[in-house]
Amino acid sequence: MHTEIDDPARAVLNQAPPLRPVNLFELDVALQEGLAREGGGWGVDRAREAGAVAGSVDALEHCLRAERNVPILHTHDRYGNRIDQVELDPSWHWLLRGAIEREIHSLPWRDPRPGGHVLRATLFMLWGHANAGVMCPVSMTYAAVPALRDGAPEIAAEWEPRLTDSSYELGALAGMAMTERQGGSDVRANITRADSVGDGTYELHGHKWFCSYPPCDVFLVLAQAPAGLSCFLVERGPGMEFQRLKDKLGTRSLPSSEVEFHGARGRLVGDEGRGVPAIIRMVNHTRLDCLIGGATGMRRGTVEAIHHARHRSAFGAKLVDQPAMRNVLAD
């Protein structure tokens, strides 16, 4: 039967209602079962709390705002002094603060109970629904700890308390800088050099083509030392000059940069000539987080698609009841 509509131009019909607010942990039965099965059940309350906040309307609005208001690199101040500062939207800080305060960057290192990595992976997945970009510095900071513990215990003793701190203001973040223009993933083609200055530190001269999150406090950097490719911990500061931010397709809220080294001081992590084994501990953990992040993106897309299909009608039935659509959603 034809239904009269007072104002067809303004009528909003056959649209799905907003998905949020929703508790993303309670919505994900497989994640609940996995957390309990793999030994992280002692943290179920933490997962439930993170799922509620990550699935809130506020979190979505912060994500949209952070992606819309992209970072801006300020290389110099108004007087011409080098400052290398990145201007970030307040929503970015809200999102990153939420991850740090929930210890997603540090939980297994602070609490060595069995299942700590499982709980941390669960929290990583839940907060990744809120925003994928902030999970990059979270992942790198988490991954830097085992690399420093293995390769430079004295540096780990100095920096681990800050890298694992759950205070957004007092803690520190770690990044990495490996790839160069001419080599890409073939880091053995790197030409950035590290010259020993005789006091246990090295001066770095060269560049990196991709360096995620320049506001990090420290970076693990690969450079050619006299004995070959080596890994160094470099603190953000003099001699580390960011050139520009990448104009990326996705995760635009996350500043990724090109950087030049002009005498930046670095401390050796691992042995000279053993840079790849030293940094691979960090790389391994970030790769696992990339897997979690990819699963998070697929999960979020599936949830949004099913929610839409349950409310949208076409050709006389809900999309979710149409055989072709059911096959697509099942895939």
* Three-class SS state of 243: strand
Tokens linked to 127: 């907060």
pLDDT for position 324 = 94
270 alpha carbon, distance to own chain's centre: 25
Which residues, in sequence order, are CB contacts of 79 under 8 Å at separation 6+? Answer: none
The Cα-based distances of 171 to 23, 92, 176, 311 in angstroms read 28, 17, 17, 45
Ordered structural domains, the chain, with CATH: 24-330 (2.40.110.20)
pLDDT at 1: 47
Closest CA to 107 of 163, 32, 174: 163
Give the pLDDT of residue 53. 99
pLDDT of residue 122: 99
Q: What is 138-161 written as a DSSP string?
A: HHHHHHHHHHHHHH-HHHHHHHHH
Tell me the whole-structure pTM to 2 decimals.
0.95
Per-position DSSP letters for 143-209, written without gaps between them:
HHHHHHHHH-HHHHHHHHHHHT---TTT---EEEE---TTTTT-GGG---EEEE-SSSEEEEEEEEE
Question: Rounded distance, CA 129 to CA 28, Å?
Answer: 12
Q: Mean pLDDT, consecutive 10-residue segments, the chain of 331 residues?
A: 74 95 98 98 99 98 98 98 98 99 99 98 99 98 99 98 98 98 92 95 98 97 98 98 96 98 98 97 97 97 96 96 94 86
Please give the pLDDT value at position 3.
58
> Which tokens go with 308?
């839409």
Give the pLDDT score at 184.
87
